[in-house]
């Protein structure tokens, strides 16, 4: 069947929340995916920061297949060795202090929902005046009503008001935080690098100030590492190093790269303030902690370690950013490791947003990239990406931008 006919089927049979997809993909190998017409694309988006090991990674595939043949699902009345191993491994690699605990979910949104319930419950039992939640302008935390309530983009929120209340969005500046923080704040949620907003790192010193001010005011600090975590920035957590030791966050949320393409999320309760809040009956999920997801998570972490992919993310990320900075029309290259954002200089003669036009022009030339805004592009390729892939994209980009300008 022709790709266009399949895309017509999509329009008939699937709810249009994602807009029209542009390709029907059938296969993937390494950093490449192939569509139904047999065209191959270098995947520089990695399923939006998910496919850490690329596509069809042998050890990951084997781990899931093996687990499927052994034990595919049990309820949370029971546990499995895989669940225990992944929890321990996650607590180790993220530098969690003794006593920290994990809770598994199926997505980033659900990890944040668990975190928000934890924050509310902690605040309610600490002091009934603790009713305010702080979140950052331009922050993104998911699409369920709770996660949406702390997501700042008006267009996402407006049709669904009233959302859970008590949330205030502040500028990501230490001044704004100092001004907003008080003893009636239950918690602060933030991303170390705002991914959906176009890969904008928080200003220098903000994370430390957030930790200090939340602690001083009895509020919990939730660091959403759904997009930035699990090696994407060349460290297991983007906040690691800044927020560790004495400055560890109360809660860290993870998803995306954690399963290497298998749906999974996790909430890590890091500090004593957070670990004892959600006791029996206070939260739950049918699929969270599912053995297949656990096997996928373990295989992903193992491969990242075996193949030295944190180092690869750092090296390839530098190569990409340095190359991008040398290209005419590319401005303000941002990010860390393999989470990269940059803006496109728009000459006044171009009609309409340049970003989406660049995405189309890139696709026509065999590259998958993403626009997070009218003139902002994002790259989040597999952590296994090689120098030849990076160079192929950098070489093609001037022509892609020219085509975007002409479109």
From the CB of 339, what's the least distance to ligand PLP, in Å? 10
Residues at the site binding ligand PLP, with contacts judged by CB under 6 A: 107-109, 112, 140-142, 191, 195-196, 224, 226-227, 255
d(CA 273, CA 197): 30
From the CB of 195, what's the least distance to ligand PLP, in Å? 5
d(CA 250, CA 243): 10
* Angle CA 121–123–128, to nearest 5: 110
Cβ-closest residue to ligand PLP? Answer: 108
d(CA 86, CA 295): 8
Measured from the CB atom, the residue of 67 and 253 that comes closer to ligand PLP is: 253
Measured from the CB atom, the residue of 255 and 384 that comes closer to ligand PLP is: 255
Measured from the CB atom, the residue of 214 and 370 that comes closer to ligand PLP is: 370
- What is the per-residue DSSP string for 62-123? HHHHHHHHH-----TTS--HHHHHHHHHHHHHTTPPTT-EEEEESSHHHHHHHHHHHHHHHH
Tally of CA atoms within 13 A in the half-sphere of 132 that contains its CB: 15
From the CB of 194, what's the least distance to ligand PLP, in Å? 8
Measured from the CB atom, the residue of 226 and 385 that comes closer to ligand PLP is: 226
d(CA 40, CA 22): 14
From the CB of 393, what's the least distance to ligand PLP, in Å? 22
Measured from the CB atom, the residue of 43 and 224 that comes closer to ligand PLP is: 224
From the CB of 329, what's the least distance to ligand PLP, in Å? 27
Dihedral of CA 242/244/249/255: which sign? positive
d(CA 274, CA 276): 6
Measured from the CB atom, the residue of 82 and 224 that comes closer to ligand PLP is: 224
From the CB of 183, what's the least distance to ligand PLP, in Å? 27
């Amino acid at each position: 069947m022709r790709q266009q006919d399949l895309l017509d089927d999509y329009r008939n049979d699937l709810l249009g929340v994602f807009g029209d997809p542009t390709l029907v993909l059938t296969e993937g190998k390494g950093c490449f995916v192939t569509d139904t017409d047999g065209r191959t694309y270098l995947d520089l988006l990695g399923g939006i920061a998910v496919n850490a090991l690329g596509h069809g990674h042998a050890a990951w595939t084997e781990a899931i297949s093996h687990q499927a043949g052994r034990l595919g699902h049990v309820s949370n009345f029971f546990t499995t060795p895989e669940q225990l191993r992944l929890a321990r491994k996650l607590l180790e690699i993220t530098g969690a202090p003794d006593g920290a605990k994990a809770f598994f979910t199926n997505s980033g949104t659900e990890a944040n929902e668990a975190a928000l319930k934890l924050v509310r419950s902690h605040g309610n039992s600490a002091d009934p005046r603790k009713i305010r939640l702080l979140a950052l302008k331009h922050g993104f935390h998911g699409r369920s009503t709770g996660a949406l309530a702390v997501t700042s983009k008006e267009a996402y929120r407006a049709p669904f008001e009233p959302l859970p209340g008590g949330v205030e969005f502040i500028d990501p500046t230490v001044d704004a935080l100092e001004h907003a923080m008080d003893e009636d704040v239950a918690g602060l949620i933030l991303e170390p690098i705002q991914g959906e907003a176009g890969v904008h790192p928080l200003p220098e010193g903000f994370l430390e100030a957030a930790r200090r001010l939340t602690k001083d005011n009895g509020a919990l600090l939730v660091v959403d590492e759904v997009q930035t975590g699990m090696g994407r920035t060349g460290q297991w957590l983007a906040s690691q190093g800044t927020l560790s030791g004495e400055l560890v966050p109360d809660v860290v949320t993870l998803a995306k790269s954690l399963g290497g393409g298998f749906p999974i999320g996790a909430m890590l309760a890091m500090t004593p303030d957070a670990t004892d809040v959600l006791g029996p009956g206070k939260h739950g999920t049918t699929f969270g902690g599912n053995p297949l997801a656990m096997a996928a998570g373990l295989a992903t972490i193992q491969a990242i370690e075996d193949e030295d992919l944190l180092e690869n993310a750092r090296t390839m990320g530098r190569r990409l950013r340095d190359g991008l900075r040398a290209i005419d029309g590319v401005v303000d290259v941002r990010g860390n490791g393999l989470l990269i954002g940059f803006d496109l200089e728009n000459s006044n003669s171009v009609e309409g947003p340049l970003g989406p036009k660049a995405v189309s022009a890139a696709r026509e030339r065999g590259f998958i990239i993403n626009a997070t805004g009218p003139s902002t592009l994002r790259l989040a390729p597999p952590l296994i990406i090689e120098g030849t892939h990076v160079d192929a994209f950098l070489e093609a980009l001037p022509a892609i931008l020219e085509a975007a300008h002409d479109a």
